[in-house]
């Protein structure tokens, strides 16, 4: 494998407290050196047959490859929306080199064979590394616990019943206690299904739109309950998608009690509000949980600044156009987000003055890597870690075009919007991808 020397970029590596102009040497799929490198540091690799490829990173940010906590990749069972290879390619175009896929497939990821299937398809694609999140209960039915120990041994990085909140509190409590034995987090989808039967955020805008609402209470009850269960069991609970102020407060209270709880939000929740849903009446804005109020957006940004929300994930959920074209109440929830995770975050939070750059990068690199128990090889530019890097032009202003989306589906409200900051190259385990060059969509 060819060695790669990244020269003269601004290296931002929160895991190591680094923010400085430096060089990065990659070889044999690993990080070999970071700093002001001399010819003698590179010379051992120059005589090898593959040689050294030099990337001039002057004016670019050099980040660890992003780690995305949640993506819905369809395969197996819903390949018309997405495949593992297609999702891995879309991730590469977003600077993401590692992503966790959720278990809402058909069949679900609830057996050793299904975990191994995901890992095998990821190896075959040889792009972003896909890590399986396994189902907490068999068939994701919320009744009988899956064989968690076997799933961990097969390679599962976390557990979740994703989009089907466990109806039985006793089952969830037992599942969290069981998961704690294997040092794996439970990613509880933070919605009470008995309250979450609407189409958009409950409130003024829903009334004007004439659409049934999903109250903030649906999220707040589920988050508070899961925090209490985490306190009781010692399980690491991850609140997947925080969107309301009281849910954020619940996580903050749990943290003060030293409960093992982490939290994430998604770019659309700190960039858009329910007012856009009412004004545009476009199903591209139909996501779950729904877009909330301006006040909630302010709380999400505050939660990120205070470190209560420590991860930012894409929640990549492709939906075929024939389904998104249904009337608003019947259209499925979902947004594609792998290619917009970084640019929306940079535009809204970093360039917008809401969040320091290092904190934003940490929320998409080392923090999710720690949650997924892969921080020993992912999420930083530590020597010996995987050669995963994203090179970003922080000043490029560009418009997201539908033709630029790599996923099989195009369901995003961000089409036509301008962003500041764009991925130019992604390096995954030492393999360079020039993402400024269009590639085939829907692999």
Sheet bearing 261-265, strands edge to edge: 66-71, 96-101, 129-134, 158-159, 186-188, 237-239, 261-265, 311-312
**Considering the domain 3-62+385-434 in this protein, what is its CATH number?**
2.30.40.10
- Per residue in 69-85, pLDDT tens? 999 999 999 999 999 99
Of 315 and 51, more confident? 315
* pLDDT digit string, tens, across residues 143-157: 899 999 999 999 999
- Write out pLDDT tens, residues 10-58: 999 999 999 999 999 999 999 999 999 888 888 777 766 567 899 999 9
Where do you find CATH 2.30.40.10 in the chain?
A: 3-62+385-434
How is residue 57 written in tokens?
Answer: 């990173």
Residue 194 pLDDT? 85
* Closest by CA position to 37, among listed 47, 48, 46: 46
DSSP letters for 313-326: ---B----HHHHTS
pLDDT bin (cut points 50, 70, 90) of residue 438 is low
Please give the positions annotated as active site.
315
Interatomic CA distance for residues 112 and 80, integer angstroms:
24
Asked whether the predicted pLDDT for residue 90 surpasses 60, the reply is yes
Structural tokens at position 326: 């249904």
**Residues carrying CATH 3.20.20.140, the chain:** 64-371
The rounded distance, in Å, linking the Cα atoms of 412 and 94 is 14
Q: Is the dihedral of CA 5, 10, 15, 16 positive or negative?
A: positive
101 bridge partner residues: 71, 132
Residue 47 pLDDT = 62
Q: Which pLDDT tens digit goes with each residue over 103-146?
A: 999 999 999 999 999 999 999 999 999 999 999 999 998 889 99
**Are 82 and 407 a contacting pair, CB within 8 Å?**
yes
Q: Tell how strand 129-134 and strand 158-159 pair up.
A: parallel
381 closest CA partner among 14, 61, 88:
14
Q: Superfamily assignment of 64-371 in CATH?
A: Metal-dependent hydrolases (3.20.20.140)
pTM (predicted TM-score): 0.96
Dig out the tokens for 343 from the structure: 């640019």
User: Rounded CA gap, 416 and 356, in Å?
Assistant: 26
> SS3 for 187?
strand
Cα 310 from Cα 308, distance rounded (Å)? 6
For the chain, the residue count is 443
Which DSSP symbol is given to 291? P
Average predicted confidence (pLDDT) for the chain:
95
Residues 6 or more apart in contact with residue 410 via CB below 8 angstroms: 321, 336, 402
């Amino acid at each position: 494998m060819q060695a790669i020397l990244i020269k003269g970029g601004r290296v931002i590596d929160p895991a190591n407290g680094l923010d400085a102009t430096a060089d990065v040497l990659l070889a044999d799929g690993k990080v070999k050196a970071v700093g002001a490198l001399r010819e003698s540091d590179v010379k051992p690799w120059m005589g090898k047959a593959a040689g050294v490829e030099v990337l001039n990173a002057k004016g670019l940010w050099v980040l660890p490859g992003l780690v995305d906590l949640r993506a819905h990749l369809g395969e197996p069972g819903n390949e018309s929306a997405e495949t593992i290879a297609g999702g891995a390619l879309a991730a590469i175009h977003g600077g993401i080199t590692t992503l966790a896929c959720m278990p809402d497939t058909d069949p679900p990821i609830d057996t050793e064979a299904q975990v191994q299937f995901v890992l095998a398809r990821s190896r075959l694609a040889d792009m972003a590394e896909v890590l399986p999140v396994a189902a907490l209960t068999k068939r994701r039915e919320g009744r009988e616990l899956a064989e968690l120990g076997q799933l961990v041994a097969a390679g599962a990085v976390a557990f979740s019943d994703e989009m089907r909140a466990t109806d039985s509190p006793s089952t969830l409590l037992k599942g969290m206690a069981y998961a704690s034995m294997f040092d794996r987090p439970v990613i509880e989808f933070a919605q009470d299904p008995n309250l979450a039967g609407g189409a958009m955020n409950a409130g003024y805008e829903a009334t004007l739109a004439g659409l049934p609402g999903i109250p903030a209470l649906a999220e707040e009850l589920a988050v508070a309950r899961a925090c209490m269960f985490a306190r009781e069991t010692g399980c690491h609970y991850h609140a997947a998608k925080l969107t309301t102020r009281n849910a954020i407060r619940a996580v903050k209270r749990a943290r003060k009690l030293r409960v093992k709880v982490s939290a994430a939000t998604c770019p659309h929740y700190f960039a858009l509000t329910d007012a856009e849903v009412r004004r545009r009446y476009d199903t591209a804005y139909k996501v779950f949980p729904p877009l909330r109020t301006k006040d909630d957006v302010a709380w999400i940004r505050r939660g990120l600044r205070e470190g209560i929300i420590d991860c930012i994930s894409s929640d990549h959920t492709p939906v075929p156009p024939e389904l998104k074209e249904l009337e608003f109440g019947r259209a499925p929830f979902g947004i594609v987000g792998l290619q917009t995770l970084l640019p929306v975050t940079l535009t809204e939070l970093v360039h917008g003055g809401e969040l320091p750059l290092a904190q934003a990068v940490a929320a998409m690199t080392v923090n999710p890597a720690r949650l997924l128990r892969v921080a020993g090889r992912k999420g930083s530019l530590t020597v010996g870690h995987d050669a995963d890097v994203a090179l970003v032009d922080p000043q490029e202003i560009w418009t997201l075009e539908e033709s630029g989306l790599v996923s099989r589906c195009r369901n995003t409200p961000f089409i036509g919007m301008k962003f500041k900051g764009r991925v130019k190259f992604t390096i995954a385990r030492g393999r360079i991808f020039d993402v400024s060059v269009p590639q085939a969509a829907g692999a």
